[in-house]
């Protein structure tokens, strides 16, 4: 499966969970169960994007740099929210509100990826390369952390090296 198809499938899975959460207002235990699934799905998804997909896109499509940096920041915010929601009692007055803010933020992120980034990536990267990335990401899902760690590096080497920084150094 190619990388974009895999990421879109993840987006659909999470959107279904979001809709279930929105319907769970009268059942705090159900909301907690769904939130736990959201935490795991988004933690794994963010990991494979940050460690495999985004670095490949940055390397092979330098013009996408700004989009990738914005996506990394959106991930950063989402991971902080996920870490706060994780373990928060569903009866806490902020649990539902915090989860709804997460949902709104992730929906915005997904829309930007699917409307802007993914079409550009599909146009620039060859089918074979997208399949290679998809295979790599599928394998990485098996070992990806199921919990958010907003302080963990969001790039493979722990640094965000921009093209401008590379030019300045030379």
pLDDT in tens, 146-158: 999 888 888 886 5
Whether the pLDDT of residue 170 is over 60: the answer is no
| Cα 144 to Cα 156: distance, rounded to the nearest angstrom | 13
Whether the pLDDT of residue 135 is over 60: the answer is yes
CA gyration radius, the chain: 17
Helices and strands in the chain: count of H runs, count of E runs:
8, 0
Tell me the two tokens of residue 94: 């902020």
Q: What pLDDT score does 168 carry?
A: 31
The residue-averaged pLDDT of 110-126 equals 96
Q: What pLDDT score does 156 carry?
A: 81
Read off the pTM: 0.90
- In tens, the pLDDT along 60-71 reads 999 999 999 999
Tell me the two tokens of residue 11: 């987006």
């Amino acid at each position: 499966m190619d990388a974009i198809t895999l990421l879109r499938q993840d987006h659909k899975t999470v959107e279904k969970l979001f809709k279930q959460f929105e319907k769970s207002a009268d059942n705090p235990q159900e909301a907690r169960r769904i939130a736990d699934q959201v935490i795991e799905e988004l933690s794994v998804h963010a990991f494979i994007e940050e460690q495999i997909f985004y670095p490949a896109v940055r390397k092979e499509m330098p013009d996408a740099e700004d989009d990738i940096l914005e996506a990394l920041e959106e991930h950063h915010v989402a991971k902080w929210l996920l870490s706060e929601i994780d373990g928060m009692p569903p009866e806490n007055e902020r649990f539902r509100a915090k989860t709804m803010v997460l949902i709104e933020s992730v929906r915005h992120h997904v829309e930007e990826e699917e409307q802007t980034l993914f079409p550009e990536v599909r146009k620039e990267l060859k089918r074979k390369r997208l399949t290679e990335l998809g295979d790599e990401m599928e394998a990485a899902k098996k070992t990806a952390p199921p919990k958010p760690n907003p302080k963990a590096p969001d790039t493979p080497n722990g640094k965000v090296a921009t093209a401008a920084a590379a030019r300045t150094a030379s």
